[in-house]
Amino acid sequence: MLLVVLLSLPVLFSITQLFNEAPKWSFIVSNTLTTYLTNTLILVFMVGVFSLLFGFYAAYVIATKSFKGRNILSLLLYLPLAMPAYVLSYIYVDTLSFSGRMYRLLSFFGITSQLNLFSMSTAIFVLTLSLYPYAYIPLKAYLTRRNQHHEDVARMLRIPLWKRIFSVHLPLLLPTLMTSLMFIIFETVNDYGVTKYLNIKTLSVGIFDAWFQLNDLSSALYLAMGYIVVLLSFYIVYQLIIKDTKKDSIKSYEKPHLTSLNKKQTLLYTMPLWILVLFSLGLPLVELLLNTIQSFQIDSILPWLRALGSTLMVALLASFIIIVMSLLISNTKRFTTSKRFKKILNLPIFGYAFPGVMIALMYYMFFINFDRFLKPIYALLGNQRLVFSLSIWVLISALVFRFFAIGFKQISNSYESIGMHHTLSSYMLRKGKWMTLLKIDVPMIKKGLIAGFILSFIDIIKELPMTLLLRPFNVQTLSTLIYTYISNEDISKASFASLTLIIISVIFIVVFKSLGRKKDVS
């Protein structure tokens, strides 16, 4: 309970600040609020539709077809997770601009039409390339582990294909489909780097502008609460849709039957996927390498080393705290019979639904007021500094709150898979709870712990808005370094830092992928 309260305290405190005066709120409502809401909804809808389409097609081909190069393609479809969306945005704007390589190549073939790169279309294109793995991974896991008996019975009854799709496949697939869509929605609304760079006014950008340009924290908080209303609307619709859906209670642990493809069929089925990999991974990596090689400067090494060290320190520490807290709360939750207490223990997972700018605002307000409360104690100790609000712990605690759900879900799912028998047997043998946790539970859920740590780490090192807003003045991470270089139009230095970030993410994704070789943990 103490851990849950500590995670939720800044959010609860921010609710009390809603009654403060907001001098710029009337200006925002009359001039920009409609634009924020409209752009956010358009972006969410279009990115959600395209990401689900690409993710489902990729999952269907990989999970049901057998062809040469299938394992390589399956891995490559994971790797766009390593590519931050804001990196993709500046790469495509740079390469398709008048002096860019892609523009010059297209001009060579006689294609010279000038594109409007700073537009909603570019944002949809970039975010789709970055977020389709959020649909591909869970849908591939479902299609790989699903039981074929529903399909077999429907075929034996000679039910037409269209009716099988809408009466059998879609109802069983719907929970996974809707969960994937919710993740994509959260990530789209949370985006700040792409929309800020392309000058698209969304709710996240609006919160940032109200905070820094209008210098009105209360108005920024009002916008954040407006976002919560939008989020709750999506969540209520999500619950209503999946409430009465059929669940496939029988999972198949046998290898699924794969349809072998000949050369012509392989080309037909996989060509769209290779094009998808090319645009989401191949072209951006080539651009980053060429930019780095052509314009690399020695003076960028020292800032890069400092940023790399800060990134690894923050990400490792925050991920470790997430796993430890998730382990303790998950272990408590599985022994609890009270539904109310279980709901309380689940409260921190909603942090993943909050946009990074909103979490940064709430934590900033909380720690500033906490320092003011402790000011008399600081004076007695002869300290005039703001101890907490200027420390790295504000950023780390905000990152833990934002990404707690990732580690918690992995560990909770692992606990559900092993059951209670081994733990209760250990208690019957008079082993203590801590001894049982460390000697019995942890070794059995080791893969879940590693997967939770890796996924948390990857998301944390790519996180931009919270890190940009809450880092101490002398701390620069790779994501904020990239943002700074892009703001200064220094593409070569930004490319070098981006490559580093992507390489670290790719290494961790490959390790994560290897966890599922014997038994799929996606």
- Asked whether residue 383 falls in the same domain as residue 410, the answer is yes
Domain end residue (candidates: 252, 287, 322): 287
pLDDT at 341: 84
Helix H or strand E segment including 222: helix 217-243
Report the distance separating Cα 405 and Cα 402, nearest Å. Answer: 8
Beta bridge partners of 260: 66
Rounded alpha-carbon distances, angstroms, from residue 62 to 59, 65, 148, 330: 5, 6, 17, 33
Whether residue 8 lies inside any domain: the answer is: no
Report the distance separating Cα 295 and Cα 467, nearest Å. Answer: 27
Whether residue 421 lies inside any domain: the answer is: yes
User: What CATH number does the domain containing 384 carry?
Assistant: 1.10.3720.10
Whether residue 344 lies inside any domain: the answer is: yes
Tokens 């939770």 belong to 452
Split into its structural domains, the chain has a count of 2
- Asked whether residue 282 falls in the same domain as residue 307, the answer is no
As given in the structure block, the two tokens for residue 86 are 């804001």
- Asked whether residue 278 falls in the same domain as residue 321, the answer is no
Report the distance separating Cα 170 and Cα 233, nearest Å. Answer: 23
Q: Which of these, 328, 320, 369, 367, lies nearest to 348 by C-alpha position?
A: 328
- Asked whether residue 315 falls in the same domain as residue 458, the answer is yes
Please work out, in degrees rounded to the nearest 5, the angle formed at the alpha carbon of residue 206 by the alpha carbons of 200 and 211: 140
Tens of pLDDT along the chain (522 residues) come to 888 888 888 888 877 777 777 888 888 888 888 999 899 999 999 999 999 999 999 999 998 888 888 889 998 998 998 888 999 999 998 888 887 788 777 777 776 666 788 899 999 999 999 999 999 988 888 888 776 777 778 778 888 877 777 777 777 888 888 888 888 988 898 888 899 899 999 988 888 888 888 888 888 888 887 777 777 777 777 777 766 655 554 454 456 678 888 889 999 999 999 999 999 999 999 999 988 888 777 777 888 899 999 999 999 999 999 999 999 888 888 888 888 888 888 888 888 878 888 888 888 888 888 888 888 887 787 776 777 888 888 999 999 999 998 888 888 888 887 878 888 888 888 888 888 888 888 888 888 899 889 989 999 998 888 898 888 888 889 999 998 888 887 887 888 889 999 999 989 888 887 776 555 443
Give me the count of residues in the chain. Answer: 522
pLDDT at 35: 92
- The domain of 318 spans 299-522
- Asked whether residue 277 falls in the same domain as residue 320, the answer is no
User: What CATH number does the domain containing 60 carry?
Assistant: 1.10.3720
Whether residue 475 lies inside any domain: the answer is: yes
Contact criterion met (CB below 8 Å) for 310 and 477 = yes
3-class secondary structure, 65? strand
3-class secondary structure, 66? strand
Report the distance separating Cα 161 and Cα 256, nearest Å. Answer: 20
Whether residue 316 lies inside any domain: the answer is: yes
Whether residue 63 lies inside any domain: the answer is: yes
pLDDT at 520: 44
- Asked whether residue 194 falls in the same domain as residue 315, the answer is no
- Asked whether residue 282 falls in the same domain as residue 366, the answer is no
Handedness of CA 262, 137, 331, 505 (dihedral sign): positive
- Asked whether residue 277 falls in the same domain as residue 415, the answer is no
Whether residue 206 lies inside any domain: the answer is: no
- Asked whether residue 270 falls in the same domain as residue 406, the answer is no
Rounded alpha-carbon distances, angstroms, from residue 348 to 143, 183, 276, 321, 380: 30, 16, 35, 14, 36
Whether residue 21 lies inside any domain: the answer is: no
- Asked whether residue 245 falls in the same domain as residue 146, the answer is yes
Helix H or strand E segment including 260: strand 259-260
- Asked whether residue 272 falls in the same domain as residue 320, the answer is no
- Asked whether residue 307 falls in the same domain as residue 250, the answer is no
Report the distance separating Cα 75 and Cα 383, nearest Å. Answer: 53
